[in-house]
């Protein structure tokens, strides 16, 4: 069985969804026969690639939130993440274009390190308040995930995996995916959002019996 997952590096629900899916997969009897493939999705593809912006201010402007409402939203998200064993530290974080980070995930897939790379990117952004936008920072994170730093930096400078990112995004459009995380199980069952682990387990079980 194959599970395809679309997500964005700076999406807090995507990291939560990854954990919830992993909990379900660990409880699934056929887990050893499941292949998980991560795909690129950009929530803000128009974000400049040469600079970042304050995440909090961007969200307040985009959704018309007051400062108090933003505080409450971040507090709720932090608690939801904590319930899944994740340590979110959202204060002072910036946001930007995630295209290069997604390219790294594709390189990592070719090297058998896709999950490790995605996990490192999420942790860097949500827990360490680190950059997942500039090439030097991304190359260091690639090294942390077990990739060759120089190869990662060269791939990013060349845009070697940009076509793969574009293919993922085009596939998402064909599937009418407008938000992430989004899970496609066995090419037949779509699960939208960071659903409870039980929902994922039910979907895995149903897909395995049909």
Q: What percent of the chain has pLDDT over 70?
A: 100
Q: Beta strand pairing status for 182-185 and 189-192?
A: antiparallel
pTM, entire model: 0.96
Instruction: Tell me the pLDDT band of 199, cut-offs 50, 70 and 90.
Output: very high
Residue range of the domain that includes 183? 2-208
Copy the structure tokens of residue 47. 């974000």
**Residue 6: which H helix or E strand, with range?**
strand 2-7
Cα angle, residue 194 at apex, residues 16 and 161 outer, rounded to 5°: 75
HSE of 145, CA atoms in CB hemisphere, 13 A: 31
Return d(Cα 162, Cα 182) in angstroms, integer.
21
CATH number at residue 186: 3.40.30.10
Average pLDDT for the chain: 97
pLDDT above 90 for 50: no
Return d(Cα 174, Cα 128) in angstroms, integer.
35
Number of compact structural domains in the chain: 1
pLDDT of residue 210: 79
Return d(Cα 56, Cα 122) in angstroms, integer.
18
Helices (H), 134-184: 135-144, 149-158, 162-174
pLDDT above 90 for 117: yes
Tens-place pLDDT, residues 130-173:
999 999 999 999 999 999 999 999 999 999 999 999 999 999 99
Residue whose token pair is 């936008």: 133
Taking each helix axis from N to C end, the angle separating 55-63 and 67-83, rounded to the nearest 10 degrees, works out to 110
């Amino acid at each position: 069985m194959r599970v395809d997952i679309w997500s964005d590096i700076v999406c807090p629900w995507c990291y939560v969804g990854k954990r919830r899916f992993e909990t379900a997969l660990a409880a699934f009897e056929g887990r050893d026969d499941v292949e998980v493939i991560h795909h690129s999705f950009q929530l803000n593809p128009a974000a400049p690639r040469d600079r970042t912006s304050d995440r909090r201010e961007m969200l307040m402007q985009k959704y018309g939130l007051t400062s108090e409402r933003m505080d409450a939203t971040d507090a709720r998200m932090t608690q939801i993440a904590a319930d899944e064993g994740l340590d979110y530290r959202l204060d002072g974080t910036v946001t930007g274009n995630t295209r290069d980070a997604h390219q790294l995930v594709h390189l990592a897939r070719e090297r058998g390190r896709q999950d490790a790379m995605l996990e490192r990117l999420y942790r860097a952004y949500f827990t360490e308040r680190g950059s997942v936008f500039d090439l030097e920072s991304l190359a260091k994170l690639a090294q942390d995930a077990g990739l060759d730093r120089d190869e990662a930096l060269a791939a990013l400078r060349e845009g070697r995996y940009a076509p793969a990112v574009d293919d993922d995004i085009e596939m998402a459009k064909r599937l009418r995916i407008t938000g992430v995380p989004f899970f496609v199980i066995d090419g037949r069952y779509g699960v939208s959002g960071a659903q409870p682990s039980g929902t994922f387990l039910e979907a895995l079980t149903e897909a395995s019996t049909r």
